[in-house]
Chain A
Amino acid sequence: MNDNSLFQIYFDCGLDTKEQMYAFLSEAGCSNGTSRQKTDITRQLFEREQAGIPLIAEHVLLPHVESEHVEESRIVFLRPAKPVLWGETSEDIRLIIAILLRKNEEEAVKQKIARFTRSLADHTFVEELVTTANEADFHQKIRTFQEES
C-alpha cells in the first residue's frame, strides 16, 4: 500500500516530536524536492497549526497542506511507537493522519480524499484506527475503506 497508493501507512514509527513528524511528512510529500521546498511544506504545516491545533478526535491529529511542492497527493498515517506530546495540547497523540495535497490536483483525486475525510466523522472508525494494535489489521481497515468507497 505504500508504493503508489494514495494511502501511506507508517506503523510504530520512531518519531518522538512534532518537529520530527512534520519533517517526516515534508519528506514523504516532496522526496525529490530541494531542502528549501521541504522546509516550505514544514512551514505550511506549522502555519496551519497557528489557526488551531488540528485535533479531530481524542489522540488524533489531521494536519493538512496544499502545496505546489507536493509531488503526489497522499494521505499519510503515522502511528508513533509511543504517544507524542503535542506542544500546547496536553493530549498525547497516538495517530496522525496527514493530508498532503498537490496544488491543482485533479478533481478525481480530491474527491477520493474528501470521501476519506468524511469517513473520519465516524467516531468508531477513528477509534479503531487509534486502538488497532496490529499493523496488518491497520492496513486491512484502510483497504476495507478503499473497497467500500
Chain B
Amino acid sequence: MKIVGVAACTVGIAHTYIAQEKLESAAKKAGHEISMETQGTIGTENELTAEQIEEADIVILATDVKLNNRERFDGKRMIEVATDVAVKSPNKLVKKAEEVLAQKQ
C-alpha cells in the first residue's frame, strides 16, 4: 500500500514531528510505502508531489489545524485524525488505513 499524509499541529513544533516519525515508522514496519509532509513552525517540509498523491492508495491527515492546499487530496481515500491519535496509536492508524482500503476495493 502507498500512503501519503500530512502532519500539522497547533504550535507546529511538537506533535507535528512526532506524528510524522511515528506514522512513517508504523507504516514501514507494516510493509507499506509512506511519505509524510509536515506543516509546522519551520514551514512545509517533505512537500508531497502531485505524482506521489496521484499514486497513493490512501491519504492520512493527522492535523489539529486547517491545512494548506488540502484540495490536493480531493477524490482520494482519506483518513483524518487529530495528531495525538497518530502519536499515541500509529500502528492502529495504519491498520485502519488497511481496513479502509480493503473495504473500498
Binding site for A on B (CB under 8 A): 10-11, 13-18, 20-22, 25, 40-42, 64, 82, 84, 87-88
Contact = CB atoms under 8 A, between A and B. Distances in A.
Contact of B42 (A54, A62, A64, A107): A107
B18 A118 contact: yes
27 contacts: A51-B64, A52-B84, A54-B84, A55-B84, A55-B88, A56-B15, A56-B87, A56-B88, A62-B14, A62-B18, A64-B14, A66-B11, A66-B41, A99-B11, A101-B13, A101-B41, A110-B41, A113-B13, A114-B17, A114-B42, A117-B13, A117-B16, A117-B17, A118-B17, A118-B18, A118-B21, A121-B17
Contacts of A54: 14-15, 84
A107 B84 CA distance: 25
Contacts of B15: 54, 56, 62
Interface residues of B: mostly helix, strand, loop or mixed?
helix
A55 B25 CA distance: 19
A88 B96 CA distance: 28
A121 B40 CA distance: 16
Contacts of A107: 42
B42 to A, nearest CB: 5
A120 B13 contact: no
Contacts of B42: 107, 110-111, 114
Q: Tell me the dominant secondary structure on chain A's binding face.
A: mixed
Contacts of A64: 11, 13-14
Interface in A46-83: 48, 51-52, 54-56, 62, 64-66
B40 A56 contact: no
A31 B11 CA distance: 22
